[in-house]
Structure 1
C-alpha cells in the first residue's frame, strides 16, 4: 500500500506552484488595497524621496500628503527612489512585488534543500499577503537579515556588511546582522566592511541634498524614534507593541512594566546561545541562531505591529524544516502558523481578533515560546544529533508532515 501523500511535501515539490502562490499573493494583497485607495504607507515612502531632495524635514507630519509620519532613515530615500518617480499606484504595486522578490531570493540563498525552501515560502505566504497589502519595508528588512547570514557563511563579507548597514540606517532592525560576525572566516574584512559601508551610506544621500541637511536629519530621526517608542508603550489597546513586552503587559495587566527589563531578559537569553560558539561551523547551530536573530527584533521592539511578523514567521518555518520527526513539533507548527498568520484575519473570527488577538498581542506568544525553546535546544546541544547533521543534506530528514 503506498504511503499516504502529505500535502506539504506534495505542494513543496512543485516549484512552479510555489512561484505562483508567492508572487500571486503579493500581487493580490497589493492590488486589493490599491483598488480601495489604501496605500498611505507608500505615500509616506514616496514623499521621503521628494522631501529629501527639497531638503524638507523628514520626521514631521504632512497632513495634506499622507497620514502619520515617516520613521525611516535618510538613506531610505535612495531605496524608494525608483518607485517614487512612478505613478503612485504602479509604484506601490511594484514596491510590494519587489519586497516579495527580495524575500524569495534571500530564502533561495539559505543552506537548505529546495524542498525545505519551498515549504518555508509556502508557510510564509499568508503573512506575505498581509505585509504586501500594507506596503511595508519589513520584507526588505527580512531579506537583508537572511542575506547577511547567507553572505557571511559564504565568505562574502562585504555584501554581508552592506546588508547590515543598509538595514540599520533604514529601520535599525538590520543591526541584528552583527550577530553573525562569529560565522565569518574573514573577521577583519567583516569589520572593514562595516566601516566602509557606514561611511558610504551615510554620505550617499548628500549627493541629492546637502551634508548639513543629512546630519540634521539623522539627529531628528533619533528623536523621532525615541518619541515613537514612548507612544507605543502608552496605549496597550493599540495595534503597536505586539511584542514580548506588549504580550506580558497585556496578559498580566501590568502597563507600567519596564520594557528595558524585558529587553535585558531577551538579550541574556540570546547571549547564552554563544556558549556553544565552538560549534559555529555546525550548519544546524547556525540555522538555530538565524532563527533567534529573526525573532529578536520583533519580540523586543515596541514598534512591532502585525505586518512586522513577516520578519518572524520564517524563523518558525526554518526551525521546523530542520527538525527531527516528533508529533509535538507538528502541533507547535500548526499552533504557531494559526496564531501568527491568521489571528488578525477573519479565519479565527472578528470576535477573536478584537477580544483576544489585539488586546493580548497574541501574535507574540508562539514566537516567544520558540525563542525560549531555541535557547534550550542550543544549550542542550540538540543540533548535534547525527540525524540533524544530515538534515541540511537530505530531505529524507524532514519532519513527518513533509514526507510523502
Structure 2
C-alpha cells in the first residue's frame, strides 16, 4: 500500500508532466483536427460572433457549417477575440484558453498541490477529447468549480459572476446554485446574481442592439426545446446525443419512449437528500463530495450530453478519488472509471467495442452513474467523516 502511495505522490510531483499532458495533448489534437479540416464546432462558434454583429439569427442553419448553434447570445462576446483572428490561430488559442481556464479552476480547489496535479493528469485525456471537438465545456466546468471555490472563500460577488456567465451561455451554469448553502453571505450572493445577470444579459448589446439580443434569447429558448426533443429520438438513429443516465437506460432496456422524468425525478430527490447533513457544510470533504455530485449530475441528467461533455463530469471522478482512503477497491473502481468513461470513445478500445457496445448503449454514462449513486450513498451514510482530512494524502 505504501508503494502505491509513493507512486501516486511521485506522479503528482512531476510539474512538467502536468503541463505537458494538459496543454500539450490539447494543442496537438486541436492542430491535428484543424489541419484535416475537422473544426466544424469552431466554425459555428466563430459565426455566433459574425451573425451577432450582422444582426442575423444565431439558431438557424447556414451553408458555412453543418448542425446549428445552441449557445446563448452572450457567447458572441466570449468568442469575439478569437473570431477576428485567422482560423488556424483563433482555433488553437480557443482550445488553449479553455484548457487554461479549467486548469486555473482546478488550482483553486482545496486540495494539496499533488492532489491537484493528479486531478489534472488523470483528466487530461478527457480534456484532449473535448479539445478535439473545440468544445466550450471546459470553461463551463471551470465556471461551476469557480462558483464553489469563490463561495468557499467568501467571494460571493465573483461566484455569482461565474454562475451567471455559464448560465447565460449554456444553461448548465445554473447548477452552481447547488453551493448556495455553503455561502455565508446569501443576500449578497442573491444581489450579485441579479447584478451579474443584468450585466451578462446586456453585454452582447455592445456588438448588436437591445432588440436583437432580446429576440435571440427568445429564439434560444425555442431552439433548446427543439434540441431536447431531437436528442430523445434514439429510435431514429441519433446515437451520439443523450449520452446520459436516461439515454443509457432507454437504450440498454429498450425503452425508447420512456419519459426522462422517470429518471430525473428520483435523481432530483436523491440530489436534494444530500443536504440533510448541512451541519457539515464547513467540512471540506462534504463540500467536495457535493461539488463532485453536482458536476456529475450536470452531465448525467441532461439529454444534450455528448461524449466530449464528460470533461465536466470526469474531473469529479478524479476529485472523488483524491478523497478516498487508499484501498484496492478504490483503486480498481477508479481504473474502471478511467477506462469506462475517459477512454471508452477513444482509439484505446477496439472499434468493435465502440461500435457495438459503447455508442449504441450510451455506455459512457454507466461508470459516472455508478459513481454518482456511490457519492450519494457516501454522503447519506456520512462515510466521509471516516476519511482522512483533505490534503493529508499523497503528500511528501
TM range (shorter): over 0.9
| Residue 295 of structure 2 corresponds to residue 281 of structure 1 | no
1:6: Cα distance to partner? 5.0
The unaligned stretches of length 5 or more in structure 1 are none
Deviation string for 1:139-176 (max 9, x for gaps)? 10011111111101000111100111000000000000
| Residue 19 of structure 2 corresponds to residue 19 of structure 1 | yes
Give the structure-1-normalised TM-score.
0.95
Instruction: Tell me if the contact between 2:115 and 2:391 (Cα under 8 Å) persists in the aligned partners.
Output: no
Mapped to 2, the partners of 1:6 and 1:40 lie a distance apart of 44
Which position in structure 1 is the counterpart of 2:159?
160
Q: Give runs of ≥4 in structure 1 deviating > 3 Å.
A: 2-8
Which position in structure 2 is the counterpart of 1:255?
256
Which position in structure 2 is the counterpart of 1:290?
291
Segment of structure 1 superposing worse, 304-313 or 236-245: 236-245
Which position in structure 1 is the counterpart of 2:180?
181
1:2-401 correspondence runs (5 A): 3=3, 7-63=7-63, 65-235=64-234, 237=237, 238-385=239-386, 387-388=387-388, 390=389, 392-395=390-393, 398=394
1:17: Cα distance to partner? 1.7
Mapped to 2, the partners of 1:113 and 1:210 lie a distance apart of 47
Q: CA RMSD, aligned part only?
A: 1.4
Mapped to 1, the partners of 2:150 and 2:220 lie a distance apart of 29
User: Is the partner of 2:65 in helix, strand or coil?
Assistant: coil
The unaligned stretches of length 5 or more in structure 2 are none
Mapped to 2, the partners of 1:309 and 1:126 lie a distance apart of 11
Deviation string for 1:41-90 (max 9, x for gaps)? 00000010110111101100002x11111000010000001101000111
Deviation string for 1:383-404 (max 9, x for gaps)? 112x43x2x1323xx4xxxx89
Deviation string for 1:286-315 (max 9, x for gaps)? 000000110011000111000000000011
Mapped to 2, the partners of 1:77 and 1:100 lie a distance apart of 19
Mapped to 1, the partners of 2:86 and 2:48 lie a distance apart of 15
Q: 1:383 to 1:349 in 2, by over 3 A?
A: same
1:4: Cα distance to partner? 6.7
Mapped to 1, the partners of 2:41 and 2:191 lie a distance apart of 35
User: Is the partner of 2:302 in helix, strand or coil?
Assistant: coil
Q: 1:3 to 1:242 in 2, by over 3 A?
A: closer
1:235: Cα distance to partner? 2.0
